[in-house]
Amino acid sequence: MSSRSNSAGGRFSSYLQVAPMALLMFTLVGIPLVIVVLLSFWQTDGITIYREFTWSNYASVLNSPVTLALFIKTIKFALITLIITTIIGFTCSYFLVFYVRNLKLQIGLLLVCTIPFWTSDVIRMVSWIPFLGREGIFNSILMRLGLISHPLSVLLYSDFSVVLAYVYLFTLFMIVPIFNSMSKINPNIIEAARDAGASKWMILTNLIVPLCKTGIALGSIFVVTLVMGDFFVVNVMSGGQSASVVSAMKNNIDQLYYPQAAAMAILLVVLVLLLVTAILRVVDIRRELAR
Amino acid sequence: MSEQSRIDIQNVTKAYGATRAVNEVNLRIEGGSYCCMIGPSGCGKTTLLRMIAGHEEPSSGKILIGGDDVTTKGTGSRGTALMFQNYALFPHLSLTDNVAFGLKVKGVAKEVRREKAREMLDRVQLLHLADRVPSELSGGQQQRVALARALITNPKVLLLDEPLSALDEFLRLKMRVELKRLQNELGITFIHVTHTQPEAIALADQVVVMDHGIVEQAASPNEVYNRPHSPYVARFMGGQNVLSGKIESLSSGAAVVMTPNGFRHDLKVGLGFSIGDLVNFVVRRDHIHLTDVADLRRNCATGRVINVEYQGTFVKLAIDTGSREEFIAYINDQAYFATPKAVGDVVNVKWGPALNHLLLGTNNSTGNPSED
């Protein structure tokens, strides 16, 4: 930092520089959030909304075992997806950084990871169905190989297929940040560790994992927020048998119970904030990035 | 100590495809000595160092440390420690844990290794910063941490890859003294790769000059500086003018050599030469005097001054004598300022016949020490 940025003029120009983004965030995030918060404390009879304060929206959400089960299920999906994507993301990045080494090939392979994103969510989801269904390709292969006698029904329209779809959709959001922090590791420090006699495992646990913490944390935030905010994937891949918090919200909105939906939304926001805070507790991203 | 830390490099070659980074090198580095490997970028000095450290395996040949064949032994078990050019400190660990890393690998208990690390940090005068992380340190401090980390496992041989090149001039001179002092205290073998000639001369007991994967000369700094083996070594180490000419007359090993620009020089050549042979020889730049025309018979040159540089204790005159290379004379400043010269003046220089030294080696590459 130059000494200029400490002067009053410098401070003014700094504010000016953040102003456009601040304005954008205020109008597109701040104002809607305030409206949702207000809405969650207002009353409704299913037809009209009354601007009168009440706790009843929150009470009905928190007292409903169905809704609480939905929250727990959504958290479960998020955590399972988080663990699997972290393992896959770390492994892929490790391969790209420490085995491929050639920068052009690395970037090329990373772009290959994005191929599924060239088409829409709907098509990507639907294309799993003929693969995993009872009469699907995977079951036929297993039967033809004689590994099973009856088709497996757990493959599709189950929690398994939901998690599979999440992993398929969101692994890239884990690969990219981990790859980014891993590729910044100076190869010399790995040699230095080897020079001290460290085994591959020691290098992994003592150097590579700690130095990828920032990437893992950023990727975790992406994955957790994406899973917590989903209702489409869970709906398609569970065949309507599972639901998420957002699905319940959508039902409320369809029935014009906006304040209840708003209360759920606020609870979800709080929950996601808690999870993100927990992640940031483990990894001080600001300090890590400053280093 | 000295027997255990002696290094023998026997017929070592390292090939990358068709190119040989290190080509059939034979070298003995005495235990407890300070050895400097010097040469331009890509001469193979770093590859050789990395093979001694165990980070590369030779394509053929053997490396012995203290008489044990360690050619294929892993790093960490051969008694060497390598200090990296950019220090390669672990950015997420405190100085204590950086230094203690080598002990952690060996399974030393946490409290014991931390205590030892703190002792080592004290030794390099950084104990007060023991809880900082490397990015909070200056370049010189980082280097001392790297040194402490390398020494914590009591290696027999410390390998230093251009340890001073990232430091500024003042710090470099200071660290140079510290390295030498440390080597004296520890009594272990230091192998120090560098591309700066004054560093090698100042530190080393043995200087190894390399070019294109081959050891051109391995000898004491005095020997390498005063009696270079080839024109390449002479040019690379500096301080010498390289001349060449044909033997005009010869009697019992004393020859008279005629250079293409028409000057005669006395040169001791020994046996095995005959009249008409082309020979290379050197004359030290700092033993040359300005003189009058009347004096010109042998061991002299005439030319036009093309550059004058005042260096404090002497004046560096570059003279165009009609040969391809400039002739450089370091003239005592008092003698020079008695009769100052200007660029373009014609001057005569002479020197004693005993100063001419025959070059036996044939490597005639320009070998400019990299200026970076």
What are A180-227's pLDDT values in tens digits? 999 999 989 999 999 988 999 999 999 999 999 999 999 999 999 999
pLDDT tens-digit profile, chain A (291 residues): 444 445 666 788 889 999 999 999 999 999 999 999 999 998 887 778 888 888 888 998 888 898 889 889 999 999 999 999 999 999 999 999 998 878 899 889 988 888 877 888 788 888 888 888 888 888 888 888 888 888 888 788 888 999 999 999 899 999 999 999 999 999 899 999 999 889 999 999 999 999 999 999 999 999 999 999 888 888 888 888 888 888 888 888 888 888 989 999 999 999 999 999 998 888 877 766 665
* pLDDT score, position A166: 92
* pLDDT score, position A5: 47
| Confidence at B295, pLDDT banded by 50, 70, 90 | low
The secondary structure of B106-168, three-state, reads CCCCHHHHHHHHHHHHHHCCCHHHCCCCHHHCCHHHHHHHHHHHHHCCCCCEEEEECCCCCCC
d(CA B202, CA B188): 18
Six-digit token pair at B293?
A: 């025309």
* pLDDT score, position A248: 86
| Confidence at B318, pLDDT banded by 50, 70, 90 | very high
Six-digit token pair at B146?
A: 């790297």
The domain spans of chain B are: 7-226, 239-359
**Which DSSP string do the residues of chain A spell out, in sequence order?**
--GGGGSHHHHHHHHHHHHHHHHHHIIIIIHHHHHHHHHHTSEE-SS-EE----SHHHHHHHH-HHHHHHHHHHHHHHHHHHHHHHHHHHHHHHIIIIII--HHHHHHHHHHHTGGGGS-HHHHHHTTHHHHSTTSHHHHHHHHTTS-SS--SSSSSSHHHHHHHHHHHHHHHHHHHHHHHHHTS-HHHHHHHHHTT--HHHHIIIIIHHHTHHHHHHHHHHHHHHHHT-SHHHHHHTTTS---HHHHHHHHHHTT-HHHHHHHHHHHHHHHHHHHHHHHHHS-HHHHHH-
CATH topology of domain A65-290: MetI-like fold (1.10.3720)
Sheet with strand B254-258: strands edge to edge: B264-268, B254-258, B240-251, B278-284, B357-359
Predicted ipTM beyond 0.85? no
Distance to chain A for B145, nearest Cα, Å: 13
Is residue B168's pLDDT more than 70? yes
Q: Who among B86, B133, B135 is closest to A188 (CB)?
A: B86
Q: What secondary structure letter does DSSP report for B17?
A: T
| Confidence at B75, pLDDT banded by 50, 70, 90 | confident
The domain spans of chain A are: 65-290
- Quick count: other Cβ atoms within 10 Å of Cβ B109? 10
Residue that has been written with the tokens 């034979």 in this structure: B26
| Cβ-based contacts of A206 with chain B (< 8 Å) | 101, 104
Name the amino acid, one letter, at B50. Answer: R
d(CA B136, CA B91): 10
Q: Which of A43-57, B24-38, B131-145, B274-288 has the lowest mean pLDDT?
A: A43-57
Distance to chain A for B76, nearest Cα, Å: 4
Contact yes or no for B101 and A196 at CB 8 A: yes
CATH topology of domain B239-359: OB fold (Dihydrolipoamide Acetyltransferase, E2P) (2.40.50)
Distance to chain B for A218, nearest Cα, Å: 18
Q: What secondary structure letter does DSSP report for B59?
A: S
Compute the CA torsion angle B149, B207, B168, B82 (nearest 10 deg): -20
Q: What is the mean pLDDT of chain A?
A: 87
Chain A residue whose CA is closest to B76: A197
Chain A residue whose CA is closest to B154: A196
B159 neighbors B53 (Cβ within 8 angstroms): yes
* pLDDT score, position B150: 92
Six-digit token pair at A123?
A: 């098509």
Domains B7-226 and B239-359 equal at CATH topology level: no
* pLDDT score, position B292: 74
| Confidence at B368, pLDDT banded by 50, 70, 90 | low
Average pLDDT estimate for B180-208 = 91
B103 neighbors B117 (Cβ within 8 angstroms): yes
d(CA A108, CA A200): 27
Contact yes or no for B101 and A186 at CB 8 A: no
Of chain B, the percentage scoring pLDDT greater than 90 comes to 35
Mutate to test the interface with A, among B49, B56, B70, B84 (most CBs of A within 10 A): B84
Residue B154, φ and ψ in degrees, nearest 5? 50, 60
Q: Identify the contact set of chain B against chain A, taking CB-CB distances under 8 A.
A: 53-55, 74-77, 80-82, 84-86, 88-92, 101-102, 104-106, 133, 135, 149, 153
Sheet with strand B346-350: strands edge to edge: B289-291, B346-350, B300-310, B314-320, B327-332
Residue that has been written with the tokens 């919200």 in this structure: A249
A209/B contact by beta carbon, under 8 A: no
Give this prediction's pTM: 0.79
What are A2-20's pLDDT values in tens digits? 444 456 667 888 899 999 9
- CATH placement of domain B7-226: 3.40.50.300
Mode of pairing for the β-strands spanning B189-194 and B34-38: parallel
A210/B contact by beta carbon, under 8 A: yes
A206/B contact by beta carbon, under 8 A: yes
Residue that has been written with the tokens 């922090």 in this structure: A181
d(CA A109, CA A119): 18
Q: Hey, which residues 185-204 in chain A have their CB within 8 Å of chain B?
A: 186, 188-189, 191-199, 202
| Confidence at B372, pLDDT banded by 50, 70, 90 | very low
Contact yes or no for A211 and B106 at CB 8 A: no
Q: For residue B61, give the 3-state DSSP assignment.
A: strand
What are B340-362's pLDDT values in tens digits? 888 888 888 888 888 889 998 88
